[in-house]
């Protein structure tokens, strides 16, 4: 069974993102599979997995905004910034219980917007060819530069001290563990992440995800394709060019043109593009080819569409 598209997996606790990919390769009997952003083994939730020609989407989906449901435990911090690490500072429960709910809310909401984060030592960022978590396991700690991230919103679901439950919408590259740590520091009681579930990546939500066991069952029943999202759906914001957009006299030879990734002359289309506009390109059979962009060279009277991301596999 040839599969090209995106499968939304609800990752269980204890699995690494690479574990998910490895098991899916065994279930689907496909080698060309990639995930779209690492989730810690102790985190759960949405992990979009790209299959077949859709693996070209991996970097693009990694760049999309994310949403998480997180729980902070106030009163202590650890070397890993979550409850699975070694406690290195502790203020005691009495200090935490004395915090005012309104004060906690105001401090947490102050992290909305553009902020700077120092990546945790227990992260996959590479320094000098070595991942930070590898250095951390060797007992080493090195200086890390601050990085800008954007917190779109933080909605507090419940404050039940020492725990605070919240939903965080943020940019790529945001470490929720670090956010919990920084919130605790600003409250002067320390803080560590107690749990984390990713609930959204771009336009994809956890409500549409399936577990690995379910994926195995569906594949055995020949129904896994019902849950595979077509690659082109990621680009719904772009206008489509299909058979209905080809001008009379240009249909013959059109498929060969786009299958080979050649440029398309605007004169052969019935659409009027805007400068720099991107389009979803389909062949005359309705198969998704890729993303093309308007190209207007100086001194060239004929505007063209040129490919910027091809997904056509010819299968």
pLDDT digits (tens, 9 = 90+) for 260-305: 999 898 888 998 888 889 999 999 999 999 999 988 765 555 688 9
Coil, helix or strand at residue 81: coil
Residue with tokens 């997995």: 49
Q: Note whether 5-64+204-232 and 66-201 share their fold.
A: yes
List 40, 182, 232, 287, catalytic entry? 40
Where are the domains positioned within the chain?
5-64+204-232, 66-201, 237-310
Domain 66-201 CATH assignment equals 3.30.2350.10:
yes
- pLDDT digit string, tens, across residues 206-244: 999 999 999 999 999 999 999 999 999 989 889 999 999
pLDDT at 60: 77
Which CATH entry fits the domain spanning 5-64+204-232: 3.40.50.2000, 3.40.50.300, 3.40.1010.20, 3.30.2350.10? 3.30.2350.10
- pLDDT digit string, tens, across residues 248-260: 888 888 999 999 9
Asked if the peptide bond before residue 162 counts as cis, ω within 30 degrees of 0, the response is: yes
The pTM for the full model equals 0.86
**Under CATH, which number does the domain 237-310 receive?**
2.30.130.10
List helix spans (H) across 174-306. Answer: 176-186, 212-220, 254-259
Query: Closest by alpha carbon to 23, among 36, 40, 5, 9?
Result: 9
> How many other C-beta atoms are found inside a 10 Å radius of the C-beta of residue 18?
11
pLDDT at 272: 87
- Cβ 240 vs Cβ 280: under 8 Å: yes
Residue 113 phi/psi, 5° resolution? 105, -160
pLDDT tier for residue 82 given thresholds of 50, 70 and 90: very high
pLDDT at 59: 78
- Cβ 108 vs Cβ 99: under 8 Å: no
The DSSP secondary structure of 14-79, one letter per residue, reads: T--HHHHHHHHHHHHT-S-EEESS---TT-EEEEEEEEGGGGGGHHHHHTS-EEEEEEEEETEEET
Q: Is the dihedral of CA 128, 133, 134, 138 positive or negative?
A: positive
Task: State yes or no: pLDDT of 137 exceeds 90.
Answer: no
40 is catalytic: yes
Average pLDDT for 98-118: 96
């Amino acid at each position: 069974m040839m599969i090209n598209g995106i499968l939304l997996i609800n990752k269980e606790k204890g699995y690494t993102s690479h574990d998910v990919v490895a098991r899916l390769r065994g279930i689907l009997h496909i080698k060309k599979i990639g995930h779209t952003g690492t989730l810690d083994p102790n985190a759960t939730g949405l992990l979009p997995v790209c299959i077949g020609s859709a693996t070209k989407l991996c970097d693009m989906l990694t760049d999309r905004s994310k949403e998480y449901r997180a729980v902070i435990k106030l009163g202590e911090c650890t070397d890993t910034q979550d409850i699975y690490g070694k406690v290195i500072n502790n203020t005691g429960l009495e200090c935490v219980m004395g915090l005012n709910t309104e004060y906690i809310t105001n401090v947490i909401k102050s992290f909305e917007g553009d902020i700077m984060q120092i990546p945790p030592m227990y992260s996959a960022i590479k320094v000098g060819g070595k991942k930070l978590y590898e250095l951390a396991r060797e007992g080493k700690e090195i200086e890390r530069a601050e990085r800008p991230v954007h917190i779109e919103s933080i909605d507090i679901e419940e404050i039940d001290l020492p725990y605070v439950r919240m939903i965080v919408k943020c940019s790529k590259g945001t470490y929720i563990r670090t956010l919990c740590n920084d919130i605790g520091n600003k409250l002067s009681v320390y803080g560590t992440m107690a749990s984390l579930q990713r609930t959204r990546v771009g336009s994809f939500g956890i409500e549409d995800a399936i577990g690995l066991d379910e994926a195995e069952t569906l594949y055995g029943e020949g129904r896994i394709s019902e849950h595979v999202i077509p690659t082109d759906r990621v680009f719904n914001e772009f206008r489509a060019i299909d058979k209905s957009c080809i001008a009379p006299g240009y249909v013959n030879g059109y498929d060969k043109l786009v299958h080979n990734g050649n440029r398309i002359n605007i004169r052969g289309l019935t659409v009027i593009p805007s400068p720099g506009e991107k389009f979803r390109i389909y062949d005359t059979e309705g198969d998704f080819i890729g993303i093309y962009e308007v190209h207007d060279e100086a001194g060239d009277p004929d505007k063209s569409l040129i490919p910027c991301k091809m997904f056509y596999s010819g299968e």
